Structure 1
């Protein structure tokens, strides 16, 4: 282990090979004996005989090793096994180095001490470290103060709040706050203290609940935001942002002061400070938008933006024209637009009068900055206000379309962005023939502009196509022009530039156009399938074309799903699967978009897909065995259902091939949660297609579904565990649909169906209770199952269907506002009356 200093020196070499060798040696030393490794690193960090860079690196590696114990299996319980003598020496070595006269080493030691402290404090050990650091944080020795403040901040960052007592928290916050006061003259100390307070903010919850303590904290920050030093102002505004985000509910008493310091910063301060000041209002707005969209009794909207709306509008509209550059860098222009967006969403019509006046005044001005600002205002206010208030914007649409053809690049970019926002939130304004006939040609012209502008135009087209799909605006004549423009755009030599990703945008627009266009476009879609397959084949051998592979598969998936039966021939199907196989081999694995395209092809070819099962089967097995990606496993699991559904009666000959992997998914503890849900959905498809051929699997299958049903009965609160709530909701719906398909598919096996039907009905009646917050799918399946059982089996199911709970449930939906549920309930009721 004496060679460790030499290995560290090698790690600092300018030669790549030497550094790589040192990394391997360090890993070997760590694995050989982690305790000695950490102990020796602490000794090297503390040794004055070792060069400064080596000491610094020793501290960093020690920090990384101890901080990331859970990342390597052999280290998970390592700290619990370290001898107390070794732990104490590591503590002494790292803590003592905080007094080093070299700042770089103090910084490294601060990180090392904090990593040890986090492990110890989580185990209720080394509690005195907090007292030591707090005492040194008020030392007259500036080096001690700096190192101790740093260490306190690092220690609190990521530490669970339960590991510190209220006394320890108060002492930490007090020590840090002492170095943030106006009387602290050392700017370096002040900046370190602000950063440390930021890291410790989670621990201040109790302090923010007490007004007197909250006032002290807020006053410190507010005064710091107007400090003469720019870096101090920046760090205080960053801290203020975290405070607003963490303690939104307590900000009501400080709105006037927040307005004063933020408005002053936007109007008078340097760009970095001004942007942070605007972000304060953006953060408040984001919180209020979230609370508006997902209202909870204990998280009300406090109405801060509504209180400040008039003053904020003045600030935003007088500064939104401040464009800093053509690049994508965040500037005052974009920041004002962002705040205006959340302001419109929260306060709705309150923003409209001032904004409409601004648009009318500036949309035709000679100064391009003012015209661009008017565009940004339009795009920012289209979501939130009422349609009645939005309508006057429509008269500006011809001017917006005109600005897509301006010479000024920034104006063109903003015009494309504004059209995209209008298409998303106010598409009916654009679909008016008077405006559509001006906007669409301008967007198509924009596809020939710079990648950034063309990309904006693509997303504008995507939104417009999606939102207008119900009125089938994109008929054949229009379709051909848009299709051609997007193909040219996707094939541009500069389309794959990573920054703007025009290629992705163009192919996404093509896929959307194919999905949403009217039926008279189908011949044109079918004619181009071969071209896309050829493109996939031409680019199949390069792993650098990952994005292109995925994009082309998206387009082909849309084309297969829209093509009419019989229009995809064997040559095309075979060519696609061969090209896709080459792509899979090139990438050494399958990918989601390719699997989805196979599913669409299976759905189109129906029984004719049987000849390609030999090609597709290995990809399914390979993916489900590896279980590398939830999204990919879900797509492959869905593919099994797609193929079974497409094959129809032919699927009966392959029932084992379909059932076994899906049932294996349900048995395995390694299967992702959503893949289990999808497995049940795909089993529904298999049963619907294979019917009685699934009987050999029935008992095992029912046992697996019963296990899933028992798991799904758990009640979870959405606001406490939203992901788990959504999973159980999806699981219950999947099981209900499975049972519905099972009863329909096995209608010829009456004895077996009657045997398991009471379990099915009991489950569906249980999950139909209000406490489970059932949606349309659960009620549709439950009513359908009741009706099917009555009509298929009559008096044989009377005992468990002709009961009060079932009959009252059916009666309830006979007066439902949902026509589909009402019809199902009447049909089920007729069935009940017959038995």
Structure 2
């Protein structure tokens, strides 16, 4: 088998597409036929020093791909697949990949990747305990070949990159020792592997950074690495400093002036783009960290909590006079064709914005002279840099400081919209959009008219310029809408607003822009449709006719695209049709929500006919399918119970969406639509409930379904229960089983993503319980505390209160629970007390459940505090009612 497999692996690198396809299919079949033999043979080839190096790499990649997951949701599947291999075979594979370390003759090491991916599976389960000590020994021992030291450090780096820090807690010191030793060795390959490993292990070194002597060692070797003759080592060392300032900001004061400032200034002044970018990134990270600290301090003061231990040292403000001149000069080093590439000039623009947010008024004195001196420069690079600098500092400084400058800059910037340089016009359009966000340009009708005229002319400009004009119009439409709002609720539509006189012309010009032949460039067509959507959603009542006309144009265009059928031959044209379909559906989705019920009655059949036709022809285009389903969601929302006439035709497509487990977005949107449908049509969903519940339960049981979809499903169970009332009892047993399992879920460690998932899962479970209680209560509005046996609501209470009590206790004791989860739990407590009355109070008053009320009282969320007050009144009312009834 080995020789045959070597021949196949050679063909995986063939330029002949037929050979490549045949080789890929062979490898897939070999893995399915006998995975154990396949992996063993691959590992044999990987360690065979006499084999073709390219074939060894191919073998390693195939081995890695069989055990490595890209989608976190599939982690359990790959783990189970690996442990299904007999232990003896696993040991042989592990021995082979370890023996391959340091023998490949090239970097990155494929064997190191294989070692790491096996380790990521085994180490969390206490398997392969000798791996890390052996890797560390190879790095630290005398006489070990440099190639093996480098490969072992690569393995350590890959492991640290993807494993939870807690798994390596006991060996973190030895890992750090190996890394520091590697960074001190003269061989540049070892130093590069070591500094990469340090970058990936910094989150594990919290205890080391807390000890001054150990912190000094780490900072010394890292700063020394920034002076290496190897550019890659210098870049990664700077990346380490970026990560260190983010993780260990509080310890950096002693190093800032003496080391970090000069090192990063030197990097920013370098002729090497990679070094410049890391120097800029360092100061961007300083600003981001200090902004976070400012927010935390503000929240603590607002809630009258003690000052936090971590406080800003104001490094950004102190470094302004050193860093800003270099950042501003870097803005002038643009490339003419760098639209998609991340360049130092682009990094400088982001850095400047962060400095403005962080240092507020202090930045103005450094930037304004640069703008004044260069806005009229004969070199387009300096003109564009001046405009970029001005646009980048608009968020941060006070309005008092900026308003006079913005008023003075507007005429100059409008003139620059006709500059000879595309780059200048492009950046000017962006800057005008920023001004629309932060200055009340809509209050001056003369300025507004001039600005809109400039925008309308520039919608015919180069695609990149026109796309930025579309973005500026989005900012302007929102600003104009908010300027006339008299309450905090955006949903209150004003009678008129500043854009009313221009609205029809703007819509016509944007619709024309979407039809430009070059609309695919710079995402112009998508940007124009987004502007149309924003303009429609932020429009006044006197613009309603124009919104209606736009709706009809969108609907007519959708029909035209559908009429093309299979007439599109080339792939670019086909992709363009797909993009247009997605944009039209998105526009339809937004504009539908602006229409009145009588208008929905008029065009409802046409809208649903087009959307159903689109769904029937675009199953292979997941993006369009998602947008079409979301457009239906908007239609359901505005048509409400009237959607009943379309359910039968739509449900088959909804079921297909629920079955699209390999397309998380479509699957997720489809799950959400089931809830929308239940809320809109109520018990009219009953004829389709069996099919919908079957697919929802299948999704919960499937390992293929994306993890984040599952909390949504529990929320939808609540909607279904509320819609069906007692009829939901057909599904109670199945739902209770999965509900209880999910509500008892716990997570290990403090991974933020897992914590977020657990909170979402709990919220979904709580919403299911609420739906059940409210659904049953809806069928029994006259239920009181004396209701006897046979009452569905009371029977439900007897079934769910014990497990629900355990669930609420878990939430009450969890200090990491989100405020939203607390609020949802309180809402359920209120539903229980108002539905079951006094018999439920002993459950709600059992320790530690009342802790939820204490959290609710002190929440910074007004919604949660209001919910707490309602729950307490509900419980008090239940007690009073019971007492008055002699219970």
Aligned partner of 1:407 in structure 2 is 420
Question: Residue deviations 1:300-327, cap 9 Å, x none?
Answer: 5454324434433344345433333352
Listed as ranges, the matches of 1:552-571 within 5 Å are 552-568=584-600
Change over 3 Å in CA distance of 1:761–1:233 after alignment to 2: closer
Change over 3 Å in CA distance of 1:487–1:74 after alignment to 2: closer
Question: Residue deviations 1:491-523, cap 9 Å, x none?
Answer: 1122123xx212221112112212221112222
Residue in structure 2 matching 1:596, options 610, 627, 630 = 630
Aligned partner of 2:278 in structure 1 is 276
Contact 2:353 2:392 in 1 (8 A): yes
- Per-residue deviation, 1:476: 4.1
2:202 aligned with 1:207: no
Contact 1:743 1:785 in 2 (8 A): no
| Cα distance in 2 between the residues matched to 1:164 and 1:778 | 36
| Cα distance in 2 between the residues matched to 1:563 and 1:521 | 12
| Cα distance in 2 between the residues matched to 1:120 and 1:103 | 27
2:344 aligned with 1:340: no
SS in structure 1 at match of 2:262: helix
Q: Taking structure 2 as the reference length, what is the TM-score of the superposition? A: 0.76
- Per-residue deviation, 1:586: 2.2
Change over 3 Å in CA distance of 1:376–1:74 after alignment to 2: closer
SS in structure 2 at match of 1:322: coil
Residue in structure 2 matching 1:533, options 540, 549, 555 = 555
- Per-residue deviation, 1:236: 2.4
| Cα distance in 1 between the residues matched to 2:675 and 2:167 | 49
Aligned partner of 1:133 in structure 2 is 138
The farther-off stretch of 730-739 and 280-289 is 730-739
| Cα distance in 1 between the residues matched to 2:59 and 2:727 | 64
| Cα distance in 2 between the residues matched to 1:342 and 1:405 | 29
The farther-off stretch of 668-677 and 345-354 is 668-677
- Per-residue deviation, 1:386: 3.0
Contact 1:320 1:336 in 2 (8 A): yes
Listed as ranges, the matches of 1:283-302 within 5 Å are 283-293=285-295, 297=308, 300-302=311-313
| Cα distance in 2 between the residues matched to 1:200 and 1:459 | 41
Aligned partner of 1:521 in structure 2 is 543
Question: With CA pairs under 8 Å and 6+ residues apart, which has the higher RCO, 1 or 2?
Answer: 2
SS in structure 2 at match of 1:567: helix
Question: Residue deviations 1:101-141, cap 9 Å, x none?
Answer: x62399444445555666665513444632552256x5485
Residue in structure 1 matching 2:758, options 711, 724, 729 = 724
Change over 3 Å in CA distance of 1:393–1:732 after alignment to 2: farther
Aligned partner of 2:16 in structure 1 is 15
- Per-residue deviation, 1:38: 3.3
Change over 3 Å in CA distance of 1:384–1:153 after alignment to 2: same
- Ranges in structure 2 where 5+ consecutive residues have no aligned partner: 301-307, 485-493, 567-573
2:514 aligned with 1:490: yes
Contact 1:348 1:386 in 2 (8 A): yes
Aligned partner of 1:586 in structure 2 is 617
Aligned partner of 2:180 in structure 1 is 177
The farther-off stretch of 366-375 and 751-760 is 751-760
Aligned partner of 2:362 in structure 1 is 350
Contact 1:666 1:679 in 2 (8 A): no
Aligned partner of 2:335 in structure 1 is 324
| Cα distance in 1 between the residues matched to 2:148 and 2:272 | 33
CA RMSD of aligned residues (A): 4.8
Aligned partner of 1:690 in structure 2 is none
Aligned partner of 1:376 in structure 2 is 388
Residue in structure 2 matching 1:481, options 490, 505, 509 = 505
Aligned partner of 2:488 in structure 1 is none
- Ranges in structure 1 where 5+ consecutive residues have no aligned partner: 688-693, 790-795
SS in structure 2 at match of 1:508: helix
Aligned partner of 1:244 in structure 2 is 245
Question: Residue deviations 1:312-345, cap 9 Å, x none?
Answer: 3344345433333352233333222211222222
| Cα distance in 2 between the residues matched to 1:95 and 1:16 | 33
- Per-residue deviation, 1:99: 5.8
- Per-residue deviation, 1:547: 3.0
Size of the aligned set, in residue pairs, is 804
| Cα distance in 1 between the residues matched to 2:267 and 2:87 | 55
| Cα distance in 2 between the residues matched to 1:82 and 1:776 | 46
Aligned partner of 1:462 in structure 2 is 474
Contact 1:266 1:275 in 2 (8 A): yes
Contact 1:382 1:421 in 2 (8 A): yes
Question: Residue deviations 1:246-291, cap 9 Å, x none?
Answer: 4334323221111111112223443321121111111222233344
Residue in structure 1 matching 2:658, options 610, 621, 624 = 624
Aligned partner of 1:793 in structure 2 is none
| Cα distance in 2 between the residues matched to 1:826 and 1:260 | 59
Q: Taking structure 1 as the reference length, what is the TM-score of the superposition? A: 0.81
SS in structure 2 at match of 1:104: coil
Change over 3 Å in CA distance of 1:737–1:388 after alignment to 2: farther
| Cα distance in 2 between the residues matched to 1:606 and 1:522 | 21
Aligned partner of 1:124 in structure 2 is 128
Question: Residue deviations 1:801-824, cap 9 Å, x none?
Answer: 9xx999xx9xx99xx999999999
| Cα distance in 2 between the residues matched to 1:617 and 1:681 | 19
Listed as ranges, the matches of 1:86-105 within 5 Å are 90=93, 93-98=96-101, 100=103, 103-104=105-106
Contact 1:379 1:422 in 2 (8 A): yes
The farther-off stretch of 550-559 and 87-96 is 87-96
2:647 aligned with 1:613: yes
The farther-off stretch of 207-216 and 303-312 is 303-312
Contact 1:39 1:90 in 2 (8 A): yes
- Per-residue deviation, 1:224: 2.7
Contact 1:709 1:735 in 2 (8 A): no
- Per-residue deviation, 1:46: 4.0
| Cα distance in 2 between the residues matched to 1:27 and 1:611 | 47
SS in structure 2 at match of 1:454: helix
- Per-residue deviation, 1:97: 4.5
Question: Residue deviations 1:510-550, cap 9 Å, x none?
Answer: 12212221112222222343332221122233663333222
SS in structure 2 at match of 1:492: coil
Change over 3 Å in CA distance of 1:271–1:600 after alignment to 2: closer
Aligned partner of 1:158 in structure 2 is 162
Contact 1:134 1:171 in 2 (8 A): no
